[in-house]
Amino acid sequence: MNIALLGFGVVGSGVYEWCRDREDLNVTRVLVRSPKPAVADISTTDFNDIVTDPAIDIVAEVMGGLHPAYEYVTAAMKAGKHVVTANKALIAAYYTELTSLAREMGVGLLCTAAVGGGIPWLVNLARVRKLDAIERLGGIMNGTSNFIMDAMHAAPVSFPAILKEAQDLGYAEADPSADIDGDDIRRKLVISANIAFDAVLEEEDIPMFGIRTVTDSDIATFKAKGFTCKLLATAAAAEKGVCAYIEPTLVSADALEAAVPKNFNLITYEGVNMGRQSYYGQGAGQMPTAANVVQDCLTILGGERGFYTHNATPMALDGENEAHPYYVRTSAPDQWLEDNTAERWETGVVTGAVNTYEMLAWAKKQLTVDPALFIAGIA
């Protein structure tokens, strides 16, 4: 099959390298914004050269962003071309439209690299769905936030200092908001939950709390109590829909999540009959991420069409039955917090079991009173 790459950055050049010596997948066109000597003979700055070329079978979108990626991807599918993408923002934002269009046109739409980078998470999630029902999924889904939390547990270091190191190493962007506040994870969680539960969740509706305000004093307290703090995503089947949220979470120091180092990910599902299965590996990186793009191309070459699931039903967020204790550090405790406090730790308080959605709503409001607030669920 002939592949056209939209973009030739880190991932795009990795896809090119993976395909270079293959006979079954050939990169024949590359859309670029500026000259790229490595692909000068096959590059173009005009997307029409790709969408109107009948010899191109697969369009691999690795440029990122919503626009013009959305316009390019929809045009490609309408032209009867299969689409592979690493763009989580695109899939999360236009989930219903893109998956419906793929079914309508009878083309493949795969995005394994969009969730977990080099981890074959989505393909295995879809695979187990054919046999078992998923009760719960989630875990560590962002390498930047895990790098920061891992470093803060390894040695006393302030959040601003380790964030700067992450930026210097290329793990964090100049504007790290998407990673440390949870937006990146939320997009990955939306895609995963939609596939697991045949759902359509609205990204902006899922509550979250990030790690921006964690301190080295918080971490020292957690370690003294036998806990490790990780930024975790959770989605679970609920009576009235899906319960989904993102929050810092204190896990036992001997839990699998506690052992995940540096910028690695650990993503887990729990099946009714299969039980727990976890997938560990590089959540980013050129060749691991590009490998999943190429694997998706091979899946299409093998005859697969459509998306990972054929069903997409809009579902409500239902956190009614989700509750657990929380660690809370705030300089402005209110009556609600006092009423729910069960014990006091060196740097904060611990609540009794509190409804997760209620706590995350309280924390969002409390940040306007105390911008240094930090909370963490206790698993």
Helix residue ranges per DSSP H, the chain: 10-19, 48-51, 69-78, 88-93, 95-105, 121-129, 143-154, 159-168, 177-180, 183-197, 216-224, 286-301, 335-340, 356-366
Indicate the domain borders of the chain: 2-110, 122-283+315-378
What pLDDT score does 284 carry? 86
**CATH classification of 122-283+315-378 is 3.40.50.920, yes or no?**
no
pLDDT of residue 170: 84
Asked if 86 contacts 113 with a C-beta cutoff of 8 angstroms, the reply is yes
**Total Cβ atoms within 10 A of residue 124:** 16
HSE of 63, CA atoms in CB hemisphere, 13 A = 22
CB 29 within 8 A of CB 49: yes
Tell me the pTM.
Answer: 0.97
> What pLDDT band is residue 283 in, cutting at 50, 70 and 90?
confident
Give tens-digit pLDDT for 307-357: 999 999 999 999 999 999 999 999 999 999 999 999 999 999 999 999 999
* 93 band by pLDDT with thresholds 50, 70 and 90: very high
Q: Using N-to-C axis directions, what is the helix angle for 159-168 and 143-154, rounded to 10°?
A: 130
The number of residues in the chain equals 379
**pLDDT beyond 90 at 169:** no
Give the whole-angstrom CA distance, residue 139 versus residue 126. 17
pLDDT greater than 90 at residue 96: yes
State the Cα–Cα distance between residues 269 and 252, nearest whole angstrom.
Answer: 19
Catalytic residue positions? 188
pLDDT band at 176 (very low <50, low <70, confident <90, very high): very high
Mean of the per-residue pLDDT values of the chain: 97
Token representation of residue 7: 């973009």
C-alpha distances in Å from residue 261, one per residue of 47, 280, 294, 304: 40, 11, 26, 35
**Average of pLDDT values for 241-246?**
98
- To the question of domain 2-110 being in CATH 3.40.50.720, the answer is yes
